[in-house]
Amino acid sequence: MSSATPGTPETGSGVPADDPSGPIPFRLLPDTADVSPEGHLTIGGCDTVELAAEFGTPLFVYDEAHLRARCAQAVAAFDGGVAYAGKAFLCAAMARLVVAEGMHIDVASIGELETVLRAFGGDSVASRVVMHGNNKSAAETDRARQTRVGRIVVDSFDELDLLDELHRADGRAPRVLLRVTPDVRAETHDYISTGQADSKFGFGIAAGDAEAAVERASEASSVELIGIHCHIGSQVFRVESLAQALGVVARFAAEAFEGHSQQLRELSIGGGLGVAYVESETAPSISEWGNALTEQWQKLCGQYGLTARLTAEPGRAIAAGAAVTLYTVGARKEVPGVRTYAAVDGGYGDNPRPMLYGSDYTAFAPARVKDPRPDRVRLVGKHCESGDVIVRSAPVPAGLAAGDLVATPVTGAYGYSMGAPYNRIGRPAVVFVADGTAQLVIRRETVDDMLALDIG
Torsion of CA 210, 211, 212, 215, to 10 degrees: 120
Catalytic residue among 46, 91, 301, 384: 384
Could you tell me how far CA 435 lies from the centroid of its own chain? 25
Helix (H, G, I), strand (E, B) or coil at 52: helix
Q: Give long-range contacts, CB 8 A cutoff, 24+ apart: 102-105.
A: 102/71, 102/72, 102/75, 103/71, 103/74, 103/75, 103/128, 104/128, 104/129, 104/130, 104/150, 105/129, 105/130
Parallel, antiparallel, or unpaired for β 46-47 and 41-43? antiparallel
- In 3D space, the residue among 361, 373, 369, 364 whose CA is nearest the CA of residue 397 turns out to be 373
Question: d(Cα 366, Cα 47) in Å, to the nearest integer?
Answer: 9
Count CA atoms within 13 Å of residue 320 on its CB side.
Answer: 24
Helix (H, G, I), strand (E, B) or coil at 439: strand
Helix (H, G, I), strand (E, B) or coil at 278: coil
CB 64 within 8 A of CB 98: no
Name residue 268's amino acid. S
How would DSSP label each residue in 114-168? HHHHHHTTSGGGGGGEEE--TT--HHHHHHHHHTT-SEEEE--HHHHHHHHHHHH
- In 3D space, the residue among 18, 91, 17, 16 whose CA is nearest the CA of residue 372 turns out to be 18
* Local structure of residue 317 (DSSP, 8 states): H
Q: Is 71 a catalytic residue?
A: no
Question: d(Cα 53, Cα 406) in Å, to the nearest integer?
Answer: 13
Catalytic positions are: 384
